[in-house]
Amino acid sequence: MLERLRALRGGESETSGDPAIDALRAVLGDRAKLDSARQALHSHDASVFEDGNSGPVCYPETTAEVQAIVRIAREHQRSIVPRGAGTGLAGGAIPLGAPVVVAVTRMNEIFEIDEDKRVAWVGPGVINLDLTRQLQPRGYHFAPDPSSQQVCTIGGNVGNNAGGPHCLAYGVTNAHIVAMEVVLPNGEVAMLGSVDGETLGYDLRGVFVGSEGTLGIVTKVAVRLTKNRPEVRTLLLSFDSVTDAAQTVSDIIADGIVPAALEVMDHKITVAVENFVNAGYPRDAAAVLLAEVDGLSAGVDIDAERIGEIGLSNGATDVRLAGSEEERALLWKGRKTAFGAIAQIAPDYYLHDTVVPRSALAGVLEQIYEIADRYELIIMNVFHAGDGNLHPLIVFDGREPGVLDRVHAAGGEIITASLEAGGVLSGEHGIGVEKQKFMNLLFTDDDLDHQNRLRQAFDPGCRTNPGKVMPVGHSCADIQSLKRRPTGVWG
């Protein structure tokens, strides 16, 4: 009976007949999984890409276990894919070619908080918001705050060099990682960076952050602690046009003010958010600007007043200052749950991520609306306006015949419009599989060759998260070689 139950669960018997599986189970026991439900779950992330094909799913709890997994996979010529919470939006965590999936979610310990050095050592599976909640009573926080903050992991933040609304003033993840312990593709452990200051030689820490799991697996991270600012002011400005809101953002920066955050939402997403959260957003505004400044009391009052003046000079119909911490938190709750709010409109969405110069914001937004009309799609815009990081949100019902073709075509045109405006492919979501084919539009063949050489310096066999980032013809593991599942692999 026990064997029959195991067979129904996908063949989780103690002896699989595959020496690689047996070796993984000898190290991890029942934390090496090969049941079909778990494989299906780990074959997707939060993106719209559905070509994933997972092999065994491993849940290590220590660096030594990660080492063992990597060495076993290497010995048996299997690829590996590191994975955190699976909240990525560019397909970066989707396994291709039935690799070993190394899920680090159980490596979620906060090992040490050193207030003298303003550094905390944490596991890659620590949830971003949980870390900040642990630090808040001590007067600190972890500055990167992606919209998926409640569920995304520090390891995933490192992999994608995540940002968030407050990266305008504080920078993206790379600015907040001091050092990290990583398991390299050959199974060796390396320490990149240092908590004691700059290291000699190449900045391998900086290379690893944002590498999307292609250079190895992070097992411990030394994050920089950011001191909580004594005073915060949050404003909500309403406008009759998105162009006026975008111009206000440019004028605020030109005035010499660097707010902690400048976030814009257009009419459709604002209404969806207000229906979802009841945060006090105006339903009749064409766009709203959420602006936040922090620092000493006198300074933030001056900056907040000046932001209001600049908004009014650009046609703001209303300027509201949050009167309490509760009101401020509610406004931010609305902004950070914007992507969940669209479920009341349609069951699916495709969230894009490009960056354009602030001066080009209004023009690119106009093109995005034109693209939406032409493809008969609903596109909402919510974005980190301060640094020009656009997040067009294509809302659709995947059950509608042919809709995915229109969605991807529209997405491609949005990317092209952003690049033609002098922008770049990604601000924080990464390249993954989503933007591979567009890499040639941003980089020369020589650029791509050097990127591939860097990858091969870490991973000569190109078995770590293969088929990602680099476009076909420039990668040591082109995606075509991954789409065919090898005969007999994983049973």
pLDDT per residue as tens digits for the range 215-240: 999 999 999 999 999 999 999 999 99
Asked if 2-103 and 231-339 have one fold, the answer is: no
Can you give the three-state secondary structure of 219-230, one letter per residue? EEEEEECEECCC
Report the share of the chain in percent with pLDDT over 70.
Answer: 93
Report the share of the chain in percent with pLDDT over 90.
Answer: 89
Average pLDDT, the chain: 92
376 Rama sector, left if φ>0, alpha if ψ -120 to 50, beta otherwise: left
Residues contacting 334, CB < 8 A, separation 6+: 273, 274, 276, 277, 279, 281
Phi, psi of 275 (to 5 degrees): -65, -30
CATH 3.30.70.2740, domain 346-420, yes or no = yes
What is the spatial distance between Cα 332 and Cα 83, in angstroms, rounded to a whole number? 28
Cα 476 to chain centroid distance, Å, stands at 24
What is the spatial distance between Cα 402 and Cα 408, in angstroms, rounded to a whole number? 10
Residues contacting 150, CB < 8 A, separation 6+: 127, 128, 129
What is the spatial distance between Cα 61 and Cα 80, in angstroms, rounded to a whole number? 17
> Is the pTM higher than 0.75?
yes
Dihedral over Cα of 121, 126, 127, 131: its sign: negative
What is the spatial distance between Cα 466 and Cα 95, in angstroms, rounded to a whole number? 8
Position 17 scores a pLDDT of: 75
**pLDDT (tens digit, 9 = 90+) per residue, 413-457?**
999 999 999 999 999 999 999 999 999 999 999 999 999 999 999
pLDDT at 353 > cutoff 60: yes
Position 41 scores a pLDDT of: 93
Q: Which residue has the higher pLDDT, 2 or 18?
A: 18
**pLDDT (tens digit, 9 = 90+) per residue, 355-410?**
999 999 999 999 999 999 999 999 999 999 999 999 999 999 999 999 999 999 99
CATH 3.30.465.10, domain 110-227, yes or no = yes
Length of the chain: 491
Where are the domains positioned within the chain? 2-103, 110-227, 231-339, 346-420
Position 16 scores a pLDDT of: 62
What's the pLDDT band for 6 if we cut at 50, 70, 90?
A: very low
CATH of 2-103, one of 3.30.43.10, 2.40.110.10, 3.90.45.10, 3.40.50.300: 3.30.43.10
What's the pLDDT band for 467 if we cut at 50, 70, 90?
A: very high
CA-based nearest residue to 261, from 285, 239, 229, 286: 229
Lowest mean pLDDT among 84-93, 325-334, 393-402, 471-480: 471-480
Position 477 scores a pLDDT of: 56
Tokens of 369: 């609306």
Position 333 scores a pLDDT of: 94
Fold type of domain 231-339? Alpha-Beta Plaits (3.30.70)
What is the spatial distance between Cα 132 and Cα 61, in angstroms, rounded to a whole number? 22
Position 5 scores a pLDDT of: 35
pLDDT at 259 > cutoff 90: yes
Per-residue pLDDT averaged across 303-315, rounded? 98
Position 10 scores a pLDDT of: 44
Please answer whether residues 182 and 189 qualify as being in contact, where contact means their C-beta atoms are separated by less than 8 angstroms. yes
Per-residue pLDDT averaged across 111-136, rounded? 97
